[in-house]
Structure 1
């Protein structure tokens, strides 16, 4: 493992730090309120940072998202890169890549994702005459379900056409950056097949939803909405051996863990600056042992988030399985991220509770990221299931190897006792 960034990744990260630092100031964020900073988004795309993701890889994206997190810039950078550029680049067919990637690179198109898949949320159906309510929901009325952890991909395919066209019906309570998006990547709630739809298509409804962090989120409601399956020609995908849903979910968890690392680093930097200049009883707050210990713990938590995100990103870029590493990074982002943003607010004392103070924005982002794509408990449960299933497969492989070895040994013993049999086996 070598997390040393390439010159291209370093250049992209430094440029991102410059743009976010110059344009995503506390004063500008306060003026924007909860809206997306469209001018900043245009500047990022003009500088080529969104398009650079296809060259710098996931590790390069994580490095740039750290810089966004430090300033809590209100742009759909992570969502559009993960659910658009990287997802289509890895699992889209030749036509989809040629048709969609240029607009995503220059920012004229913005993608987001209705992740994770939710049983009872969205179902895909083959194109055809409009179906009745009973036809669309053969199992009876759909019941609204709360957030659940993403299930392991199923082998079932679900109804669809060979040309990759389908119709989607269902709803997703919260989709980040939905108000700004032109495309949404939606997994089928049962088969986890990925479908890409336009937000201006018939049957698509978007209702604004307020979230903890100002993510321009919305509720997505689909009623026989037309969509295209991502990557109908699987042989041309870069990672055809990887289940597309599992790969995109792992990529999203890694990228948003990198964003959380930046949020935590920004909160900690503000806390360090405050405690170093604020004096009580004739000395800076930073000289108190309790303050030092809390800041040190927050620093180690931040580094744990960063390094686990780096490892998961590096493995994906190296075409290695990164499912376990992405879950590990997501767990650190949820558990340690919550601790760090609470520490940052606590070390500010009374002013940390001021809703207009910049550190409070880091607190809101940290809490939002801690629950996105699964809470710490949900992610840990999923990681445990993945590890136990892997151990079971390894045990079965070891048993198969022992059985094959026993068969070879028995054959060798039989041949040693019967030279004629050995000669006959050699001729066959």
Structure 2
């Protein structure tokens, strides 16, 4: 395994870091509320960072999402890339790719996904969908939504054809519930498309979590280095150092497991266990890190307007989106048992 970024991936990550760092400031984040920062989204699309995902692969996307997570930038970058550009690009027909990808690249269309599958949507023989999903990230700002049915077939739905009910989530992700009542949809991909898209989405959100945790920890380190107690910076206290060290190790564990899963995905290698491992670390360790980041800020960490609180909210939301650790471990155990059974057969 070689996780060394290619020249193209490095250039894309540096550009993303510059754009997110310049435009995703605490003042702009506060002004954006729960919706998309239109100027930031326009800048990302105009520089080609959205379309670059088709060239840099899932590992490249993870690198870009780390930069988004560091600043908790208020744009539907993750969902549009993984459910739109990668989902349609990998599983759409030639006609679907020609029709949908240009708008997804330039940001005039935004895709999201009703994942993970809850088995609540049924597809009729006429290709119309009926059912209700839970909250879908960025649905209020999306033009298309990728929906799995009860049989794990994938369907692409125009949001304008469906019903949506706004849902307020822990992080301000412009979420909504999806209401489908004989809603027209178009099939996307074959029977294996669901597992492929779900795996890519889990890895992408784990990468986003790695950035959120890194950003939270960086703020905590900066704060404890200048905040004094009894004439000494908090960072000189052993208890503070140990908490920060544990958070650093957790963040690195999220990062390395996510890189491995993304690399195997891009190489076309079996990656089911690696994807679930990355998801577990992102969910469980991510929660610990953002709690530590807030705790090390003392009382101001509980200030709803403080930048570190956004990292706390995003970290908890990503954990909820990926699923609790016990659920992911249960799924991982089933995969490992199946693999062992096949090896001994």
Q: So what's the TM-score if we normalise by structure 2?
A: 0.99
Which position in structure 2 is the counterpart of 1:107?
Answer: 107
The Cα of 1:373 is off from its aligned counterpart by 3.1
Q: Identify unmatched segments of 5+ residues in structure 1.
A: 128-165, 235-241, 397-428
Q: 1:346 and 2:295 equivalent?
A: yes
Counterpart CA distance in 2 for 1:174 and 1:343 is: 27
Which position in structure 1 is the counterpart of 2:273?
Answer: 324
How big is the alpha-carbon RMSD for the aligned residues of Structure 1 and Structure 2?
A: 0.9
Secondary structure in 2 aligned to 1:185?
strand
The Cα of 1:333 is off from its aligned counterpart by 0.3
Secondary structure in 1 aligned to 2:89?
helix
Secondary structure in 2 aligned to 1:179?
helix
Which position in structure 1 is the counterpart of 2:55?
Answer: 55
Which position in structure 2 is the counterpart of 1:411?
Answer: none
> Could you tell me which of 388, 391, 403 is aligned with 2:337?
388
Q: Which has the higher helix share?
A: 2
> Could you tell me which of 156, 163, 177 is aligned with 1:196?
156
Counterpart CA distance in 2 for 1:173 and 1:327 is: 22
CA displacement 1:91-126 (0-9 Å, x = unmatched): 11111111111111111110000011113x110012
Which position in structure 2 is the counterpart of 1:122?
Answer: 121
Counterpart CA distance in 1 for 2:325 and 2:299 is: 28
Which position in structure 1 is the counterpart of 2:312?
Answer: 363
The Cα of 1:173 is off from its aligned counterpart by 1.8
Which position in structure 1 is the counterpart of 2:41?
Answer: 41
Counterpart CA distance in 2 for 1:116 and 1:324 is: 17
Q: 1:256 and 2:205 equivalent?
A: yes
Counterpart CA distance in 1 for 2:299 and 2:117 is: 40
Counterpart CA distance in 1 for 2:212 and 2:234 is: 23
Counterpart CA distance in 2 for 1:312 and 1:305 is: 11
CA displacement 1:154-180 (0-9 Å, x = unmatched): xxxxxxxxxxxx100001120000001
Which position in structure 1 is the counterpart of 2:165?
Answer: 207
Which position in structure 1 is the counterpart of 2:146?
Answer: 185
Which position in structure 2 is the counterpart of 1:219?
Answer: 177
The Cα of 1:39 is off from its aligned counterpart by 1.2
Q: 1:312 and 2:261 equivalent?
A: yes
Counterpart CA distance in 2 for 1:364 and 1:305 is: 18
Counterpart CA distance in 1 for 2:93 and 2:334 is: 32
Secondary structure in 2 aligned to 1:126?
coil
Q: 1:247 and 2:196 equivalent?
A: yes
Counterpart CA distance in 2 for 1:302 and 1:381 is: 23
Q: Given that residues 115 and 373 in structure 1 are in contact (C-alpha distance below 8 angstroms), is that contact kept between their aligned partners in structure 2?
A: no
Structure 1 or 2, whichever has the larger Rg, is: 1
CA displacement 1:389-417 (0-9 Å, x = unmatched): 11011110xxxxxxxxxxxxxxxxxxxxx
Q: 1:272 and 2:212 equivalent?
A: no
Which position in structure 1 is the counterpart of 2:87?
Answer: 87
Q: Give the number of aligned pairs.
A: 345
Counterpart CA distance in 1 for 2:332 and 2:221 is: 34
Counterpart CA distance in 2 for 1:193 and 1:21 is: 39
Q: Given that residues 205 and 322 in structure 2 are in contact (C-alpha distance below 8 angstroms), is that contact kept between their aligned partners in structure 1?
A: no
Q: Given that residues 139 and 175 in structure 2 are in contact (C-alpha distance below 8 angstroms), is that contact kept between their aligned partners in structure 1?
A: yes
Q: Identify unmatched segments of 5+ residues in structure 2.
A: none
Secondary structure in 2 aligned to 1:108?
coil
Which position in structure 2 is the counterpart of 1:140?
Answer: none
Structure 1 residue ranges, 4+ long, deviating more than 3 angstroms after superposition: none
Counterpart CA distance in 1 for 2:252 and 2:322 is: 21
